[in-house]
Amino acid sequence: MTRADYHLRAPGRLSGSLSALLALALLCGSTSLGAEPITEDTIISADRATFKQAAGTGVYEGNAELVQGQRQVNAERIELQLQDGDLRRVEATGNPVRLRDGTEINARARRLVYDVDQQTITLMDDAHIEYQGRSFEGARVVYNLSTRDIEASGDGASQRVRLVIPAEDQKDAAQ
């Protein structure tokens, strides 16, 4: 099976072996993964890919991976949604979806939604995020890329929010 590789170059231009349809659709606008101009290329790889120009969606399935700088998402399926050629939303599903953002953030969940305009990554369904040595768990965890704030919530039934603070942190705070 041939792997589909896509390379979105900073500041939002494409290069590499991309289908003509995908290239035409994405070259019409920027594909930034943030509110500020991109300084890192974005690379999307998968076993299969489909792009629907009229709908502005790209679907990447089978060991899908999105990499931009130090941020990496691995999932079974990654769907990109564009509006007027600009990336607006990334939705990833898998068992689990994994997110790594440098050395600060390691996260996993069954579903991840990246809202470009809001600069948030929302992890849903058994969400778990490790941040600065602490771990947050819940049915839903929202990570704000701009502020680095984290919000967690339970599902109101069986899954509650849980925060684990390492003993070292508690010892340091007491001194």
pLDDT along the chain (175 residues), means of 10: 50 32 30 48 90 90 92 95 86 95 89 93 91 85 87 79 76 53
Q: What is residue 33's predicted lDDT score, i.e. its pLDDT?
A: 39
Structure confidence at residue 101 (pLDDT): 85
Structural domain count, the chain = 1
pLDDT of residue 25: 29
Cis (ω within 30 of 0) for the bond into 96?
Answer: yes
Q: What is the DSSP letter of 149?
A: -
Look at residue 3 in the predicted model and tell me its pLDDT: 54
Question: What dihedral do alpha carbons 61, 63, 64, 70 form, nearest 10°?
Answer: 170
Domain that holds residue 135: 4-174
CATH at residue 159: 2.60.450.10
